[in-house]
């Protein structure tokens, strides 16, 4: 029985591995983003608040806790630590895998936060206070979705294109890269595009992380005084 299950898993994995590069709609980042938007869309369609329950509260707390935790780790800890330990090419490879998981997870957590909030506070019932948090959560979801679906694939491809040229030209030191930037027009264009879109992605990530801080402060204000 176990061998049969293992064989089925291997078959599914092979089919997915062969199909995914050609079928963008099977990419994990797209599927998770679609799921997050679908959940928010369902919640947005509700016109009456659902009764308060532990399940809704748990989903909301899971969204804010997961969103804050993963964004704090990536923003404050991971980048600085890993960049010092790995070479430029190794860091690019690690980032290409990790960033996909990070941005997809961010979209899911943002969807959980916004969706559970909308279930308890439908759009047509928003007070001024609810409106402030609701808009912030919408911005957080938009930032996560843009990074997951657009910026992350673009930045990753540009990063590998840039690193491939560096590898072919044996550019390893800062002086080598500076010389390559000055003399190679193609490398300079790719590098400039990478810097531009990577900066936009970083700003989008900081917006997402900043909203997590605001969300925590909002929830803390609603808690009992310790």
Tens of pLDDT, residue by residue, the chain (226 residues): 545 556 665 665 565 555 555 566 667 778 888 889 899 999 989 889 888 889 999 999 999 999 999 999 988 887 777 777 777 777 778 888 888 889 999 999 999 999 999 999 999 888 888 899 999 999 999 999 999 999 998 998 999 898 888 888 888 787 888 888 888 889 899 999 999 999 999 999 999 999 999 999 999 887 755 4
In-domain check, residue 90: yes
In a domain, 2, yes or no: no
- 150 Rama class: left (phi>0) / alpha (psi -120 to 50) / beta: alpha
- 214 class by beta-carbon count within 10 Å (0-12 exposed, 13-18 middle, 19+ buried): middle
- The structure's pTM equals 0.82
**What is the extent of the structural domain holding 211?**
26-222
Under 8 Å between Cβ of 206 and 151: no
The alpha carbon torsion through 198, 156, 99, 77 (nearest 10 deg) reads: -50
What is the separation of C-alpha 147 from the centre of its chain, rounded to a whole number of angstroms?
6
**91 lies in some domain:** yes
Total domains, the chain: 1
Q: Is residue 195 part of a domain?
A: yes
Q: Would residue 19 count as lying in a domain? A: no
In a domain, 1, yes or no: no
- φ/ψ of 56, rounded to 5, equals -65, -45
Q: Is residue 114 in some structural domain?
A: yes
Q: How far, in Å, are 11, 22, 31, 151 from residue 16 at the CA level?
A: 9, 10, 13, 24
Tokens of 162: 């840039």
Residue closest to 104 by CA, chosen among 27, 9, 184: 27
């Amino acid at each position: 029985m176990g061998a049969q299950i293992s064989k089925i898993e291997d078959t599914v994995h092979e089919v997915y591995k062969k199909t995914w590069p050609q079928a963008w709609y099977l990419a994990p980042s797209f599927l998770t983003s679609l799921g997050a938007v679908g959940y928010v869309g369902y919640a947005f369609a509700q016109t009456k608040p659902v009764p308060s329950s532990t399940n809704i509260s748990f989903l909301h707390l899971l969204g804010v806790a997961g969103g804050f935790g993963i964004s704090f780790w990536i923003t404050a800890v991971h980048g600085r630590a890993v960049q010092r330990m790995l070479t430029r090419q190794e860091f690019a490879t690690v980032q290409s895998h990790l960033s996909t998981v990070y941005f997809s997870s961010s979209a899911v957590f943002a969807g959980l936060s916004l969706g559970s909030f909308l279930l308890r506070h439908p759009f047509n019932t928003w007070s001024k206070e609810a409106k402030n948090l609701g808009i912030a959560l919408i911005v957080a979801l938009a930032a996560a979705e843009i990074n997951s679906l657009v910026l992350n694939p673009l930045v990753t491809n540009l990063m590998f294109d840039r690193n491939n040229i560096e590898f072919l030209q044996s550019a390893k030191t800062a002086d080598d890269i500076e010389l390559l930037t000055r003399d190679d027009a193609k490398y300079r264009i790719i590098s400039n595009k990478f810097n531009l879109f990577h900066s936009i992605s970083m700003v989008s990530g900081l917006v997402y992380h900043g909203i997590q801080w605001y969300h925590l402060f909002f929830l803390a204000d609603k808690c009992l005084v310790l």
